[in-house]
Amino acid sequence: MSQTNTAPLRQRALLTDEQLAHLPTHHPLKTAHTGESAMIRTLTGRSADHSPVWFMRQAGRSLPEYRQIREGIPMLDSCLNPELAAEITLQPVRRHGVDAAIFFSDIVIPMKLAGVGVDIVPGRGPVLDAPVRTLEDIKNLPELEDSALDPIRQAVALTVEQLGSTPLIGFAGAPFTVAAYMVEGGPSRDHLRPRTMMHANPEAWEALGQWAARTSAQFLAAQIEAGASAVQLFDSWAGSLGQADYRRFVQPHSAVTLAAIEHYGVPRIHFGTGTAELLPAMLEAGADVIGVDYRLPLSEAQRRLGGGIVLQGNIDPALLASGWDALAAHTDSVLEEGRCAPAHVVNLGHGVPPTTDPTVLTRLVEYIHTQTRKAS
């Protein structure tokens, strides 16, 4: 059983007046007081009246209203239609009562907006017109123009206008995950090509990592300035790396992305799958909050991180279809494990499976709120 954390809080996104001055006057941290929501209070290491919960991929195929509104519309077109993206982002907040919305988009959107030929092929995932594998390929990559991000800004603005005091979490793919897709030209099980490039052509890898870090940072900044109250950097494929390669070839680029948005003061969550051995390095990249996948108990994650770290996670998505008794018992265990942290945001240890019964998610949110609500 986990112990209540007594270590000093080592990482905190302090929402100071100086940092808030970097945000526009209409930002919900200023106008809607999202900084006092349970979600942002918890992400910044402060107490809240209940443990907040949101789900990765909460906006998506598990919802019938999502499937209906997206019928016949390609994925990237959905992401770049501000009204549609806003509506999809809001759907799970209305249905489930989660404590935050996660912006509906895709990690390849920044490269798409920069002018890189990429599409999402149903049943396969992101596929590039041409892989990026040489230094010459990388030198020819277009830069992401600020004006190209206007549809993202519009979608975020439309979303936060309707969210009120419920915060929006922005997101971007971490540089390694973005670069891995670009080198492979599409999805991969083992990411051999980018792992090979790191050692065979480190100059090319460095240039690609810098490009990916810049575009991810621009993508996050646009969301923050338009109204996101927190952000998450997703490193979907970092689990394919050993610690030495991560520290040498990946961590510096993630650090650039996270540092580029530090001045805004919004909490920065860093999450990857299969990254149990990489958690300390991910924290050192500059995150305020560490997301933990379902493979590692939160107490062990806290031990590896050295204590005092706000954690997010880590209900196993498989339990969503295992019956309520099993899910409730597992959730109780996760909540108990979360006591090892100074503050704990409840989430899944990966995304919501598309076959999930949405009524289970709604019931789970209610259960977490009830189990963790503090007496007034």
Per-residue pLDDT tens digits for 309-360: 999 999 999 999 999 999 999 999 999 999 999 999 999 999 999 999 999 9
State the residue range of the domain holding 109.
17-372
What is the C-alpha separation between 99 and 233, in angstroms, rounded? Answer: 19
Catalytic residue among 12, 41, 70, 268: 70
Q: Is 26 a residue whose pLDDT tops 50? A: yes
Out of 41, 57, 214, 304, the active site residue is: 57
| Residue 70 known to be catalytic | yes
312, 292 Cβ separation under 8 angstroms: yes
Residue 5, in any domain of the structure: no
82-96 vs 150-163: helix crossing angle, rounded to 10 = 30
pTM for the whole structure: 0.95
Summarize pLDDT for 230-286 with one digit per residue, the tens.
Answer: 999 999 999 999 999 999 999 999 999 999 999 999 999 999 999 999 999 999 999
pLDDT range class, residue 112, cuts 50, 70, 90: very high
Give the β-pairing of 125-128 and 118-121: antiparallel
Cβ 233 vs Cβ 169: under 8 Å: no
Please report the pLDDT score of residue 295 as a whole number: 96
Tokens of 261: 């948005």
The residue annotated as part of the active site, out of 10, 61, 153, 248, is 61
How would you write 171-202 as a 3-class SS string? EEECHHHHHHHHHHCCCCCCCHHHHHHHHHCH
| Residue 131, in any domain of the structure | yes
* Tokens 């789970």 found at: 364
- The reply to whether 56 falls in a domain is yes
- Say yes or no to pLDDT of 13 above 80: no
Q: How many domains does the chain have?
A: 1
The region of weakest confidence among 9-13, 210-214, 257-261 is 9-13
Give CA–CA dist 293/276, Å, rounded: 8
- Please provide the DSSP assignment of 114-172 as one string: HT--EEEETTTEEEESS---SHHHHHTPPP--GGGGHHHHHHHHHHHHHHTTSPEEEEE
Rounding to the nearest 10 degrees, give the CA dihedral for residues 216, 219, 272, 34.
140
User: Is there a domain that residue 91 lies in?
Assistant: yes
Q: Does 3 reside within a domain?
A: no
- Output the six-digit token pair for 318: 């498989």
User: Would residue 158 count as lying in a domain?
Assistant: yes
Q: Treating both helix axes as pointing N-terminal to C-terminal, what angle do 192-200 and 175-184 enclose, rounded to 10 degrees? A: 100
Cβ pair 254, 217 in contact under 8 A: no
Flag whether 6 is in a domain.
no
Asked whether residue 2 is assigned to any structural domain, the reply reads no
Tell me, what CATH number does 128's domain have?
Answer: 3.20.20.210
* Candidates 12, 95, 99, 181; catalytic one: 181
Is 57 marked active-site?
yes
106 is catalytic: yes
- The one catalytic residue in 12, 95, 99, 106 is 106
